[in-house]
Amino acid sequence: LELILDGKDETLTIRIIGELVATTCASLREVVTDSITRKPKRIVLDMSGVPFVDTSGLGVLVGLRATLKTNKIDLEVVNPSERVVNVFRLTKLDGVFGISSG
Amino acid sequence: MPGDVERVVPMANKGERGWRVLVLSADRSGDLSATISLVAEVFPTINEDDLLGRVHRERVDAVVLEAGSPLIDVVSLIHDIRARQKSTRFLPILVAVDRSEVLLREQAFMAGATDVIDLPIEAIETKARLEQILRSRSWHAQLAESDATLERERRETAAARHELMPREMPQLPGWEFAARIRNLGRFTGDSYDVYRVSPNRVVISVADALGSDVVSLIRLAMVRGWVRAVCGRAGTVAEAMEELNALMLDTFGDDGRFVTLYLGFLDPATARLVHGCAGFIEPVLWGESTSSQLTLGLEGGPPLGVSSEVVYRESELVLDVGSRLILGTHALQREHVAPGSLAERIAAGSRLSATRMAEQLATGEPHPGEGSSASTRDVTFIVIQRRREVPVEPG
C-alpha cells in the first residue's frame, strides 16, 4: 500500500494507492494515527487509487473515524471507485462516512 | 590505570547457550575442534555411521565435516543427513575444506552445505561464522516454536467457534433449514444460529465479527449470547438490532472491530419473515415459480458497533411455497463484486434440497471470477426453504 501525504493549511490529504485489505490496512492506521500529532482539522482520504476494500479495510476506516472524532478531527473519504462505493453501500457504511466524489 | 583502554572481547559462553556440534574430521592438529569449542560443545564422531546415528538420536545444533579426507564422502553424507528426517532438513552443516579446493567447495554447497570453513583454519573468522550460524538456528527454532504455538491457537479458536454453532436445526413441518460451513481450518468470525423461541417465532441470525483472532471469537460469543437474550423478548427485529448495537458500543466502544449481522424472525405458521441487516450483505431470495432471484430491498443499517447515531429498520415478506432464502458470510469477498457468480451457483442448484444447496454453496469450488481471497476464508451458507403448505401447530 502506498500512501502519499499532502498537508495544506489545516487539511491533511492522504492519497491511498493499492488494495485496502487485511494485509495492507495496518499501515494506513499507523500513518493516520501518527498524523494526529500534526493537529490537522481535517483528514481527507483520497481513495481514487484504491481498487478494492475488504472488511478489514472497512474496519480500519471505522476505527480511524472514531479515533479522529475523539481528537476533534474530521475524516472525509473522497473519490472512491464505483466498486469501492458498492462495498460501502452493501455494508450500509455509506451513510456513516461522508463519501463524496471530489 | 587512567588513560588505559581496556579492550574487552566477549567470550561466547557455550555453557549458557548449550550449543552442541558434532564433528567428523581427521583434524590431526586439533585446530578445528579447538576453534569450534570456543563457541559450542564439541562431540567428535568416529565415522559416517556414527555421525548419522547420533545426528538422529541426539540433540545437535550443527555438524562440521572435514572434506578432502578419503574416509569422508561429504556430498553423500550431506544428502543422508538432509534426507533422513524433517528435523535435520535444515540442520546447519559446515564443511571444512582446503582454501584451494574450489571444486570441492562448490560440490559441498551444491549438496546443501550451510557454509564452508577454510583450511588451514582461521580461528577468529571461523568462530564468528559458526557463532552467527548457530545464533540464526536458535532464532529459527524460536520462530518455529512461535509459529507452532500460533497455529495451535488458531486451530483451538476455530474449534471453539464451532462450539457456538447450533447442534441441530429446527425441524418444522413445511420448512427446511440447512447450514454448511466451508471450513479451511482457520478461524474466521462468522457464526449462525437458528432456533425457535416461541410457537410463532424462529430466530435466524448470522453474524460475522471482523478479524480472525481470539478477540473476534470473544465478540462473536458475546453477540451470540446477546442475540439469544434479546430476541426472546424483543418486539421487533429493529428493536433487537438497536439493543444489540448499544450493547456492542457499551462493551467494546467504537474501535472499528464491528460485527455484521443478519437477523430474522420467522413465523412458521404464516411464513411471515421480518428481518433486517446490520452491515450484512443482503440475502438472496430465490423464487421457485419464477426460477429467479427476487429483489428483497432489505432495510437495515451499518454493522453493530460502528455508531450510536443510527436507526435500524426492518423489512417484511411472506415466503411463498417453494421459495428459499439464502444467507452467506461470503460478504465482501471478491466474488461479491464479480456480479452474477453467486446467483449463477444458486440457479444451478435450485432443484436441490436446501441441505444439498447449502453444501454445494459452501464447499463448491470457487466460481470463475472469485478472487484469491475466496479460497482462503471460511464461508457459511444458510438456506431456508418453505417446502409445502403444512400449517404448524401452535406450541
Concatenating the DSSP letter of every residue in B306-344 gives: S-SS-----EEEEPPTT-EEEEES-TTSGGGGSTTHHHH
Q: pLDDT value at position B204?
A: 95
> Is B256–A83 a contact, with Cβ atoms under 8 angstroms apart?
no
Low-confidence ranges of chain B (pLDDT < 70): 1-17, 27-28, 69-71, 183-187, 289-293, 330-341, 364-378, 388-395
B338 contacts: CB under 8 Å, gap ≥ 6? B369, B370, B371
- State yes or no: cis peptide before B166, omega within 30 of 0: no
- Structure confidence at residue B185 (pLDDT): 60
What pLDDT was estimated at residue B379? 77
Binary contact (B253, A66; C-beta < 8 A): yes
Q: For chain A, what is the radius of gyration of the CA atoms?
A: 12
Could you tell me if A85 lies within 8 Å of chain B, comparing CB atoms? no
Q: Answer whether residue A98 shows pLDDT above 60.
A: yes
| pLDDT above 90 as % of chain A | 67
Which residues in chain A touch residue B333, judged by CB atoms under 8 angstroms apart?
54
Phi then psi dihedrals of residue B170, to 5 deg: -60, 140
pLDDT digits (tens, 9 = 90+) for B220-248: 899 999 999 999 888 899 999 999 999 99
On chain A, the residues whose CB falls within 8 A of the CB of B210 are: 55-56, 58-59
What is the reported pLDDT for B120?
A: 84
Among left, alpha and beta (phi > 0; psi -120 to 50; other), residue A29 is alpha
Contact of A83 with chain B, judged by CB distance below 8 Å, is answered with yes
**The length of chain B, given as a count of residues:** 395
From CA B94, how far away is CA B290, in angstroms rounded?
Answer: 73
Q: What share of chain B is helix, strand, coil (3-state, %, to 5)?
A: 35, 25, 40
Dihedral pair phi/psi, residue B258, rounded to 5°: -80, 170
Identify the pLDDT of residue A17. 95
pTM of whole model > 0.80?
no
Bigger pLDDT: B343 or A70? A70
Option in A59, A61, A91 nearest B257 (CB): A59
pLDDT in the model for residue B369? 41
What percentage of chain A has pLDDT greater than the value 70? 97
Q: Which three cell numbers stand for residue B278?
A: 446490520
Give CA–CA dist B66/B69, Å, rounded.
7
Q: What is the pLDDT of residue B88?
A: 81
Determine whether the interchain pair B303/A92 forms a contact, defined as Cβ–Cβ distance below 8 Å: yes
Question: Would the pLDDT of A40 be above 70?
Answer: yes
Verify whether the Cβ–Cβ distance B258 to A21 is below 8 Å. Answer: no
pLDDT band at A90 (very low <50, low <70, confident <90, very high): confident
